Chains A and B, each alone.
Chain A
Amino acid sequence: MAKVLIDLKNICKNFGETEVLHDFNLQIMENEFVTLLGPSGCGKTTLLRMIGGFDSPSYGEIYFDGKLINDVEPNERPINTVFQRYALFPHLNVFDNVAFGLKIKKTPKEEIQKLVMDALKQVHLEEYYDRKIDSLSGGQQQRVAMARAIVLKPKLLLLDEPLAALDRKLRQDLRYELKDMQRSLGITFIYVTHDQEEALTMSDTVVIMNEGRILQIGSPEMIYNEPETRFVANFIGESNIVEGKMIKDNVCMFEGVQFPCTYKGFSKNEEVDIVIRPEDFLIVNKNESKLTGKIDSKTFQGAVHEINIIDQNGVELTVHTTKDYPLEMEVGLTVDPENITVMKKPGVNTYSGVMQEDGYVKVSDDMILETESELEEGTEVVVRILTQDVLLDDIDESDFEGTITDIKKRDLYYDVYIKVGENKIVSSTSKVHKVGEETGIWVKKEKVIVSVEEDLENE
C-alpha cells in the first residue's frame, strides 16, 4: 500500500469576504500523478500555493509525510514548483538557472556541473546550457523550469498550469514527456490545470474542483465514464444530460422511453439526471428503437461526424458517429446499458415562508433566513437551499441552531440531518459530526433561492 505524502485536513481559505476553499480534505499518495482540475477561480492554484508555502490556510492543517507543515517556510519544504509562465531568472543563463537551487544548498562545484548537465539532458536542452533565457522559445523555457525543479530531487513537484502558455501541438508532445518524466523520476506530481484533456491523459487521479470544493475524485476513466454531478459531466468532455427517473433497479427512463442500465439502490421513481456521451449513442433504423428523432444539423470534425438530433419530445441530442447520415433523416437511437450514467440530483432543502423586512424570510420561529430577495414584506415565498450550501458552525457564529438527528455517509461527504424546531434541514459536509450534537447553522444570503410559487409540493 502506498504511503500518504500529502494530507490536507479541513483546509479553508478566505481572501477578505471571499471564501476560496471550503473545508477541503484530500490525501495524495507517494508517486501519484494527481491533477487538480477546475475552471479558473475554483481555488486550485490557491491550494497549490498553500502546499508550496506561498499562502497559508485560514483554517486547517497540511501534513507532509506525516509532519504538520503549516508554518514551514517555502525554502524549507522539500517541495519544488514549476510556476505558471515559468518564473525563470532573466538575469541568469540556462545553466545558472538550473544550478540556482544547488548553489543555495552549497553543493560542491563539480557535483553542480554534473547534476545540472544531467537535468538538462533529461529535458533535451544540454546544448543550450549557456543560452540566455530570453533567447529561448516558450517550450524551451518550460523545459528549463522543469530542469530547475527536478535537479533538486524533491519528493513532491507542484506544477501550476505549466503548459498553458504553449501552442496546441507542443502541449500535446510535452504531456507525454511530463508523464514519462514523472514515471522515471519516481516523484509525486500535483498538477493544476483547467484543461480536461491534459488531466485525462496524464493523471493517475483527477480531482475535480469548483467553487473551492471537491466535486469528484477518481481515475480519468472513472471521471469520464461515471460523472457524479452535472458540473463534472459538462466539464469533462461533451455530454447529453437529460432529466429522467429510476423505474426500478437496473431500469431507468428518459425521454419517455425505458432503458436497461447498471445502476441500483435508488428509491422507486427517484428523479435523476442521465448522462450519455455523444459517442455512446448508436444510430439505428427508426423502427428499431422507441427513442426516435430527426437529424437537424451536422458538422464534420475530422475523426467523427457530430450530428444533432431533435427527438420526439423536441429535445436536442448530440451524437458522434463515424458514418455520415443525410439531414432531415428520421432515425432511432439506442445506447448500451453500461454507457448510461445515472446521477443523483443535488440535495435541496425546500421550505415555504413569509417575507419580512430587509430581505429576511421567516420559515418558522426557529428559522429566519437572510436573503438577497427584494420582495415585499408579507409575500408568501418558496425557499430552496442546496444541502451543500448549509454550513455548520459554532452556535454563537450562526443564524439559527438545531440538533443532529441522523448522519448518512456519501462518497466524499456526509449528509447531516438536523432538526430545527419543527423543520428539518440537511447539510452536506465533509466535517465529522455526531448524532445528538447541537450545532449552529448558517447559509450565505446569496445561496438562498427565493421564488414565488402557487403550489408547493410538501416535502
Chain B
Amino acid sequence: MNDDSTKTQELKPSRIKHLKSTKSFAIPYLVWLGMFLVIPMAILIFLAFSTYDFSAHAEIHGTLNNWKYVFASSYALNVFWPSVFRSFYVSFIVTIICLLIGYPVAYFMTKMKARYRALVMIFLSLPLWCNQVLRIVSWRTIFEILNMNYNEYYIFNIIVAMVSMYMPFMILPIFTVLEKLDKRVVEASYDLGCSRIQSFFKVTLPLSLGGIVSGIIMTFLPSLTSFEVSDAVSYNTVLLLGNLIHARFHGTGGYNIGSVFSIITIVFTVVGFILVLKVDKEGETLI
C-alpha cells in the first residue's frame, strides 16, 4: 500500500499567501456587516433586556419583564405562542408542497436539452424580477376574483401565495446539486443491477440530500418570518410570527417585546442553518 493520496498533496502555503493578499478586499463587506448586522443586533439585545423604548421620558434599567411577558403572560398563551405554532404549521405545509413539486421540476430540468432548460430557468426567475409586494397584492386580487376572500380560505390562500413566492428557492439548490451529480455514478448503479427506480432511491436521492436540505431551509425560514403575505392576503387577520414583530415595531411602544420576538426568531434561524451545515459541509448548495 504505497499509494499516495493525490488529494492531500495539494500544497497549502501558496493558497494562504494568496488569501492574505486578497484579504483587504473583504473590508467593505466587513464594514457593511458591522453597521447593519452587528450594531443592530446589539441594539436588539439591549432593547430585549431593558426598559428603554426610544421615548423621551423612558427610564433605562435592565429587566427580564419583557421575557416574562413573552413566555408567561396571558397574551403569550393566547396570541404569541399560537401564532408561532401557526407560523410553523404554515411554513411546514409550504415547504412540503414546494419540495414535492420542486424536486421533480429540478430533476427533469437536468434531463432537458440545454435550450429548454434555459427556458424553464427564465420562467423560474422571471417572477423574481417583479417586486415582491406587487406579486403578493396580485394574489389578493386573484383570490378576490375567485371569490375566495373569506375567513375560511385565508390559511389556504396564504399557503398558495407563499408556495408561489418561495418555489424558486426550493428548485434552484436542488437543481444545482443534481446538475453537478456525476452521471457516471448513476450509470454505475445501472451497471451493478439497479433498475431506474432503484437507482433513483439508492443513488440520486441520497446524493441530492444537500440540495434538499438547502431548499427546505431556503423556503422554510422565509415562510416562517414572512409578514407581508398574511398582511395582504388575509387583511392581517391571520397572525403569523412576522406579523407580530411587524406590529410591535410599526405601532408604538412595542420595541422591547418586539426585540424579544426577533431574538426568538433569530434563534430558530440559526438552528436551521446549523442543520444545513451538518448535512452540507462545503456549503456548496447554499446560494
Chain A residues in the interface with B (C-beta under 8 A)? 52-54, 73-75, 79-81, 83-85, 87-91, 100-101, 104-105, 124, 134, 136-140, 148-149, 152, 167, 170
Contacts and interface: CB of A to CB of B under 8 A. Distances in A.
Contact of B191 (A80, A91, A136, A170): A80
B59 interface: no
B191 A52 contact: yes
A75 B193 contact: yes
A88 B186 CA distance: 10
A83 B184 contact: yes
B6 A105 contact: no
Does more than half of chain B's interface fall in helix, strand or loop, or is it mixed?
Answer: helix
B116 interface: no
B194 A104 contact: yes
Contact of A81 (B1, B191, B207, B209): B191
A100 B6 contact: no
Contacts of A88: 185, 188
B77 to A, nearest CB: 45
Contacts of A79: 191
Nearest to A90: B207
B184 to A, nearest CB: 4
Contacts of B10: none
Given A87-B185, A91-B206, A140-B3, 5 more contacts: A80-B191, A84-B184, A88-B185, A104-B202, A137-B6
A30 B239 CA distance: 74
Contacts of A75: 190-195
Given A54-B187, A81-B188, A137-B6, A104 B1 contact: no
Contacts of B192: 75, 80, 100-101, 104, 148, 152
Given A73-B190, A89-B185, A170 B203 contact: no
9 contacts: A79-B191, A88-B188, A89-B203, A90-B207, A104-B192, A137-B3, A137-B6, A137-B7, A148-B192
A138 B193 contact: no
8 tightest A-B contacts by CB? A139-B3, A101-B192, A87-B184, A137-B5, A87-B188, A137-B3, A104-B193, A74-B190
Nearest to B184: A87
A105 B194 CA distance: 9
Nearest to B207: A91
Interface residues of B, number: 24
Contacts of B187: 54, 74, 81, 83, 87
A380 B5 CA distance: 64
B206 to A, nearest CB: 5
Contacts of A83: 184, 187-188, 191
A79 B188 CA distance: 11
Given A74-B190, A104-B193, A87 B4 contact: no
Contacts of A167: 6
Given A74-B191, A80-B191, A85 B6 contact: no
Given A80-B192, A124-B1, A152-B192, A138 B6 contact: yes
A80 B194 CA distance: 12
Contacts of A138: 3, 5-6
A81 B185 CA distance: 11
A367 to B, nearest CB: 40
A137 B193 CA distance: 27
Contacts of B193: 75, 101, 104-105, 152
A170 B3 CA distance: 7
B189 interface: yes
Contacts of B1: 124, 140
Contacts of B182: 85, 87
A160 to B, nearest CB: 9
B164 interface: no
Contacts of B132: none
Interface in B128-172: none
Contacts of A152: 192-193
Q: Which interface residue of B182, B191, B203 has the most chain A CB atoms within 10 A?
A: B191
A75 B194 CA distance: 6
A373 B190 CA distance: 48
